[in-house]
Structure 1
């Protein structure tokens, strides 16, 4: 009898960056969770506060928009999305379960998008590489995680910290 590989043994692929030539700020997660991978959409898990937080930051209701319209709105504000890892092995959706994370190619991104100046890390796992990005001359911002697994901080307090995304950026 053949044994099925565990979910952790199956390599997972992340998403392409959401970015264009006007993007000056990039929000980086760690790696898409199971709901996002199934939907092929960044932050698809309904309990994740990502879209609610950005709605508060941009003073625009992104939650009720279609996914393509959400992305267009972010890009119109000069904000893009990507993840620190482009591939990994993981069972479940928790960052703590990420194994064999393969970083995305940020050198290529930097060459292709020289106007990109600010990287905002959604949570501590994404932020572990913060110093590396600062050495690449990016301005960085560590954000409290939008994940429902990070419940130590109230939504209103997270939002105050997330509003720093739009401070000191070109519009």
Structure 2
């Protein structure tokens, strides 16, 4: 098992939406880029959402999200995992990110989208109970994973579902 550490968030004070993954895969960690696997559908979906197919370098992609009010982060800060699959995460090694602090610093985030079932499950298991329920008025939705491992949906279908969900709150 490899000990892994994720990235800091892509976020601004104006972020209204948070998209949460579980933990970056091997290629993403090597590139130090969210959704760095060339077959991951995340960046093509965001390009379609913002009609911005010119943002090909990572810094430009991050700026596209920031301008659109979207933040990106992962549930897990540290864990042990063999390979890239969420199924190989050693559950007892999981250390979640500090969402209490994050949400205090980003109070405009009203909607959280989970990039797949694992991110949602991990958030509910490790994070949700740590948030103050009296001020946790955010809305949570799970979307289909953009990972190439989620081969049950085509890029077209993933894009349609994601665009519809995000457009409803943008």
TM-score range relative to shorter protein? 0.7 to 0.9
Q: Match for 1:118 among 111, 128, 136?
A: 111
Q: Match for 1:105 among 98, 110, 133?
A: 98
In 1, Cα distance between equivalents of 2:150 and 2:10: 25
CA contact (8 A) 1:130 1:140 kept: no
Establish whether residue 33 from structure 1 lines up as the match of residue 25 from structure 2.
yes
In 2, Cα distance between equivalents of 1:67 and 1:168: 25
Q: CA shift at 1:130, angstroms?
A: 4.8
TM norm structure 2: 0.88
Alignment correspondent of 2:168: 167
Alignment correspondent of 2:120: 127
Alignment correspondent of 1:42: 34
Q: Secondary structure at the match of 2:103?
A: helix
Q: Secondary structure at the match of 2:13?
A: coil
Alignment correspondent of 2:57: 66
Alignment correspondent of 2:48: 56
In 2, Cα distance between equivalents of 1:32 and 1:146: 12
Ranges in structure 2 where 5+ consecutive residues have no aligned partner: none
Q: Match for 1:88 among 63, 79, 90?
A: 79
TM norm structure 1: 0.87
Q: Deviation per CA, 1:18-74: give whole Å up to 9, x if none.
A: 111110111111000000111111111101111111112222216x52100100110
Alignment correspondent of 1:4: none
Q: Secondary structure at the match of 2:104?
A: helix
Q: CA shift at 1:168, angstroms?
A: 2.4
Q: CA shift at 1:13, angstroms?
A: 0.5
Establish whether residue 14 from structure 1 lines up as the match of residue 6 from structure 2.
yes
In 2, Cα distance between equivalents of 1:17 and 1:66: 18
